[in-house]
Amino acid sequence: MKRRRSALARGRLVALPFVALQLCLAAATAPAAERSAKEQVLFDRLERRVAAVEARLDGVLGVYVEDLSSGARVELRADEVFPTASSIKLAVLYELYRQAQEGRLDLGEVTRPPGARVRGGGILQELGDRVSLTWRDLALLMIGWSDNEATNVLVRRVGMDAVNRRLDALGLPGTRLRRQMMDLEAARRGDENVSTPREIARLAGVLARGEGLAPERARDLLSVATLADSGSSFRRGLPDGVRAVSKPGELEGVRCEAAWVDVPGRPYVAAVMTTYVRREKDAEDAIAELSAAFYDTFDRLARSSAYGRTVSDRVTGK
């Protein structure tokens, strides 16, 4: 049975009133016929919502969202390389926990960060030079507060090459850690931390599943990875209390975020990446808007029967 694919997925441009997009909706693991025609309407609508955001944004937008239940996905420039900014910290966190699993480090070991610390985010830059923290403490600062110095301490501990080898083993060769945080000289040389929307979204899913980790360690990783960063535009699009792995990134002209969202029965991974952005606030709003659109789609699917009825205690008919 043929899978349903959008016109763009077959290599043709879809003419929209305001933009021509390289945008596709495809089924990765399940034939579209296994989804009802009514469900397909929701995915088609989500595709159009992505197109509308792309048309308004004065910059370059990349999107990848995948339904982990059916394999259905919406893609826009999903395999083009974008700067990751702080979203690359997900790769550092995963390598830290894999090395702990392999017995190469102890997450509870105490270390003292150096006195000279990079700025640009976090709280270590505000603390005295005698502070001592565990490797796990530093991971918490890296994810929950996007602490750049904590990240650099962890990168030096696990090794930049080790992070990239792990990414290769995960089948994520387009995701690269090439420099420490706030290394402007490296950035000027072109040594930027990069990924694609498809890969960084799938990396968020790897963390959520705790691949290669014992169950207890996987649960601990998830507890760290789901810490809410106050700078997250993606979380603005989610209702309060929704569990999610998400890591925003920002540089001048760049805003991005990778996420795994725990919708019971309909979890999904997503990434929204932007670059060449004229107004960063517009990119942040675009990420929040798309996050809300993703959640609305998968939440409705999760709460509905195969016929589209939402079953609840509310009395609205017979």
The β-bridge relationship of strands 20-21 and 23-27 is unpaired
Helix (H, G, I), strand (E, B) or coil at 167: helix
Query: Which residues is 246 bridged to in the sheet?
Result: 259
Range of the domain at 148: 76-303
Judged by average pLDDT, the poorest of 23-37, 108-122, 193-207 is: 23-37
Number of structural domains found in the chain: 1
Confidence class for position 35, pLDDT limits 50, 70, 90? low
42 in any annotated domain: no
22 in any annotated domain: no
- Residue carrying the six token digits 């517009």: 282
Judged by average pLDDT, the poorest of 20-24, 67-71, 314-318 is: 20-24
Which pLDDT value is given to residue 10? 36
243 in any annotated domain: yes
247-296 pLDDT per residue, tens: 999 999 999 999 999 999 999 999 999 999 999 999 999 999 999 999 99
For 280, left (φ over 0), alpha (ψ -120 to 50), or beta? alpha
CATH of residue 290's domain is: 3.40.710.10
9 in any annotated domain: no
11 in any annotated domain: no
Confidence class for position 119, pLDDT limits 50, 70, 90? low
Tokens representing 60 are: 């370059």
Confidence class for position 164, pLDDT limits 50, 70, 90? very high
Confidence class for position 125, pLDDT limits 50, 70, 90? confident
Which pLDDT value is given to residue 9? 38
| Cα atoms found within 13 Å of the Cα of residue 308, Cβ hemisphere only | 9
Taking the C-alpha atoms of 181, 158, 131 and 151 in order, what is their torsion angle to the nearest 10 degrees? 20
Mean pLDDT of the chain: 86
CB 181 within 8 A of CB 120: yes
- Residue carrying the six token digits 């995960």: 170
Helix (H, G, I), strand (E, B) or coil at 59: coil
